[in-house]
């Protein structure tokens, strides 16, 4: 009868939130078996209950069923023998209820502790978590179920000589109430956990969206931050980090560690050569800037210290505060190694990627001075295990919201826009520096064309100087003109496309190149088909026209117009300043002669 009742109540199981374990109300009959018949019968009942309970599990496997049988049997066998040690011996064979209170409490607590610790350990190993922390967070509060079952078993054994229909009729309603109480309670916990999970996913997806913008500005692919994130979190686990909030902090910091680069100019971020001392000093500010920005966010875990100190060195020669050794947060020490490795093995604007062994050699060279030796050694030793996880994360890089609601493209148009804008700004700044250093107008024009070819469909360009005396424009410099057919070309004001642009001082987009150059447009291979004309105005006075030509039909849009206007402005400033310098020299020489 006890076995039958155990099986019936054992089939009414409840899932424990957040872990792959279940709870039932069959303990009352397990405890009754101990009190009536001893350890052997109770162990048999538990084994039978575990075997039948396995039939209700969807994800059952042979090893899982075997574990559940052995864990429950071991727990009740040990608890029953412990009960036998502390239980009083009565000559009549039926001790008083008050004499059994403590022994039954020992039975319930010991059975719960042993069984739940075994299950918590198995679940923790499955999730790579700390067993005691897993037990404390998910199993400790379930002891109430075992205490209730022990109390009901004590009343059942103490006041009924045997199990009959009236006894069952009295017990089953209490079991039903207990079952419904736990079902409602665990259901609420499950709902709360689901809500927290959804909020956390939304929270992390917001963090990742911000990290995407940072990396797009820095000309880095989203795959980089996802690889760094996986490397960092997995390496932290292998270094003994088990606390959930600490892992969350490391995960968030891995995404946001370079947030401060939003305040760093693109020409520094993407400079192809070595940074100057001044540029590097400005670059170093990104750690403090990022930490200060994130300090306004109320993170439930310590993200800011990791972001602030991820460029500290093990020997104390890093930045921004010069921390050394274990004073540097562990997450920052891990992040610095992982970020360096992934950067070394990725293509960057200033150098091609390195082989894995070459990157390992650099990490070993910096071991003990820049990086924590334990972190470096653990990373290199576990790289073969971590690399497939990180690579997969990099290939499947996408927003966390996208994973739960929809499936976007690997890179959205918004990110492409950010990356394109960052490239545009960087190239324009570089072009401004080279135009300013150009030896003459021809070199400045050639430099401008190199930038225009990267940002627009322009293949040939010409700078026409306005001659106010003859009311015409003359081609003074040209680039992309292999046979110099445009050199010296004269266009009267108001005629053709360039002349109309000069006369009206208005930009012209996508006009037919034949209308501007007539037969000369066909002397290029392939022929020139479209033009973009920008008037060059200095101090409210027309000084010339910048005309770009393309071999495509109607290729120019507003973005191209913006780029050409900026470069025309650079050329105008360069040529006007040069002309002004020449005039000043001539004026000075003339005054000296007089």
- The least confident of 34-38, 291-295, 302-306, 365-369 is 34-38
314 shares its domain with 433: no
Please tell me the distance from the alpha carbon of residue 124 to that of residue 2, in angstroms, as a whole number.
Answer: 33
479 shares its domain with 370: no
The pTM of the full predicted model, rounded to 2 decimals, is: 0.50
Predicted confidence at residue 299, as pLDDT, reads 80
- Residue with the two structure tokens 């005309």: 547
Q: How many domains does the chain have?
A: 3
- Residue with the two structure tokens 């910048």: 546
23 shares its domain with 90: yes
* Position 589 confidence tier, pLDDT thresholds 50, 70, 90: very low
44 shares its domain with 169: yes
**Which two tokens mark 303?**
């993200």
**Which two tokens mark 314?**
């093990």
User: Of 102-106, 138-142, 260-264, 395-399, where does the model show the most confidence?
Assistant: 102-106
**3-state helix/strand/coil string of 408-437:** CCCCCHHHHHHHHHHHHHHHHHHHHHHHHH
CATH number, residue 49: 1.10.1760.20
Domain assignment present for 405:
no
Domain assignment present for 414:
no
Please tell me the distance from the alpha carbon of residue 234 to that of residue 226, in angstroms, as a whole number.
Answer: 12
Domain assignment present for 209:
no
Domain assignment present for 200:
no
Predicted confidence at residue 512, as pLDDT, reads 92
CA dihedral 491, 492, 494, 500 (to 10 degrees): 20
Predicted confidence at residue 202, as pLDDT, reads 72
Please tell me the distance from the alpha carbon of residue 135 to that of residue 85, in angstroms, as a whole number.
Answer: 27
Q: Which residue among 159, 193, 227 closes a domain?
A: 193
Domain assignment present for 411:
no
Predicted confidence at residue 378, as pLDDT, reads 94
CATH number, residue 343: 1.10.3210.10
Predicted confidence at residue 11, as pLDDT, reads 61
Name the nearest CA neighbour of 461 among 555, 331, 361, 551: 551
545 shares its domain with 459: yes
- The 10 Å Cβ neighbour count of residue 384 is 9
pLDDT above 80 (res 416): no
Sign of the alpha-carbon torsion through 200, 202, 203, 207: positive
Domain assignment present for 205:
no
Q: Is pLDDT larger for residue 405 or for residue 144?
A: 144
pLDDT tens string 46-64: 888 777 766 666 666 778 7
Please tell me the distance from the alpha carbon of residue 454 to that of residue 367, in angstroms, as a whole number.
Answer: 41
Predicted confidence at residue 398, as pLDDT, reads 45
Domain assignment present for 73:
yes
pLDDT above 60 (res 213): yes
* Position 256 confidence tier, pLDDT thresholds 50, 70, 90: confident
Rounded percentage of the chain residues whose pLDDT exceeds 90: 24
Mean pLDDT in residue range 400-417: 42
* Position 401 confidence tier, pLDDT thresholds 50, 70, 90: very low
379 shares its domain with 273: yes
Question: Which domain does 158 fall in, by range?
Answer: 2-193
Average pLDDT, the chain: 79
Name the nearest CA neighbour of 204 among 238, 241, 233: 233
340 shares its domain with 458: no
**Which two tokens mark 378?**
């653990």
Predicted confidence at residue 346, as pLDDT, reads 80
426 shares its domain with 559: yes
Sign of the alpha-carbon torsion through 104, 107, 109, 115: negative
163 shares its domain with 253: no
Domain assignment present for 70:
yes
CATH number, residue 475: 3.30.450.40
Bond preceding residue 320 cis, omega within 30 of 0: yes
185 shares its domain with 236: no
Name the nearest CA neighbour of 533 among 510, 563, 559, 567: 510
Please tell me the distance from the alpha carbon of residue 565 to that of residue 202, in angstroms, as a whole number.
Answer: 42
158 shares its domain with 238: no
**Which two tokens mark 384?**
């073969």
326 shares its domain with 428: no
């Amino acid at each position: 009868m006890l076995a039958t009742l155990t099986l019936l109540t054992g089939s009414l199981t409840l899932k424990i939130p957040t872990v792959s374990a279940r709870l039932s109300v069959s303990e009352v009959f397990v405890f009754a078996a101990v009190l009536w018949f001893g350890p052997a019968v109770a162990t048999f009942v538990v084994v039978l209950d575990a075997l039948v309970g396995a039939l209700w599990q969807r994800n059952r496997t042979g090893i899982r069923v075997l574990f559940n049988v052995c864990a429950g049997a071991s727990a009740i066998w040990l608890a029953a023998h412990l009960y036998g040690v502390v239980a009083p011996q009565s000559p009549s064979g039926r001790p008083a209820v008050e004499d059994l209170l403590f022994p039954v409490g020992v039975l319930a607590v010991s059975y719960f502790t042993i069984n739940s610790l075994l299950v918590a350990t198995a679940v923790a190993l499955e999730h790579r978590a700390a067993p005691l922390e897993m037990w404390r967070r998910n199993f400790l509060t379930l002891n109430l179920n075992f205490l209730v079952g022990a109390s009901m078993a004590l009343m059942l054994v103490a006041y009924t000589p045997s199990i009959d229909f009236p006894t069952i009729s009295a017990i089953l309603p209490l079991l039903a109430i207990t079952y419904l109480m736990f079902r409602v309670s665990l259901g609420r916990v499950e709902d709360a956990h689901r809500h927290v999970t959804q909020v956390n996913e939304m929270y992390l997806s917001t963090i990742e969206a911000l990290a995407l913008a940072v990396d797009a500005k820095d000309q880095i692919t989203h795959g980089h931050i996802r690889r760094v994130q996986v490397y960092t979190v997995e390496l932290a686990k292998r270094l003994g980090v088990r606390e959930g909030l600490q892992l969350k902090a490391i995960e968030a910091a891995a995404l946001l560690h370079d947030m401060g680069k939003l305040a760093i100019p693109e020409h520094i971020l993407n400079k192809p050569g070595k940074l100057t001392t001044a540029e590097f000093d400005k670059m170093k500010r990104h750690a403090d800037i990022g930490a200060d920005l994130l300090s306004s966010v109320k993170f439930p875990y310590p993200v800011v210290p990791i972001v602030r100190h991820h460029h500290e060195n093990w020997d104390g020669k890093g930045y921004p505060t010069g921390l050394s050794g274990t004073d540097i947060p562990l997450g920052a020490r891990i992040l610095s190694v992982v970020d360096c490795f992934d950067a070394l093995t990725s293509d960057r604007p200033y150098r091609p990627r390195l082989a894995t062994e070459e990157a390992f050699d650099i990490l070993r060279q910096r071991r003990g001075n820049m990086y924590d030796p334990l972190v470096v050694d653990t990373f290199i030793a576990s790289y073969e295990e971590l690399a497939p996880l990180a690579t997969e994360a990099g290939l499947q890089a996408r927003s966390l919201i996208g994973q739960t609601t929809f499936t976007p493209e690997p890179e959205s148009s918004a990110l492409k826009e950010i990356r394109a804008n960052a490239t545009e700004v960087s190239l324009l700044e570089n072009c401004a520096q080279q135009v300013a250093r150009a030896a003459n107008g021809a070199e400045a024009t050639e430099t401008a064309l190199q930038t225009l070819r990267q940002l627009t469909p322009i293949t040939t360009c010409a700078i026409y100087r306005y001659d106010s005396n003859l009311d015409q424009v003359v081609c003074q410099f040209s680039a992309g003109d292999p046979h110099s057919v445009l050199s010296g070309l004269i266009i009267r004001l108001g005629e053709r496309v360039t002349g109309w642009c000069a006369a009206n001082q208005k930009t012209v987009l996508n006009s037919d190149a034949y209308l501007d150059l007539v037969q000369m447009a066909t002397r290029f291979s392939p022929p020139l088909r479209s033009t973009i004309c920008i008037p060059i105005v200095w101090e409210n006075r027309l000084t010339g026209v910048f005309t770009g030509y393309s071999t495509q039909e109607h290729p120019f849009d507003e973005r191209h117009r913006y780029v050409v206007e900026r470069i025309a402005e650079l050329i105008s400033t360069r040529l006007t300043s040069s002309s002004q310098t020449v005039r000043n020299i001539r004026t000075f020489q003339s005054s000296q002669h007089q």
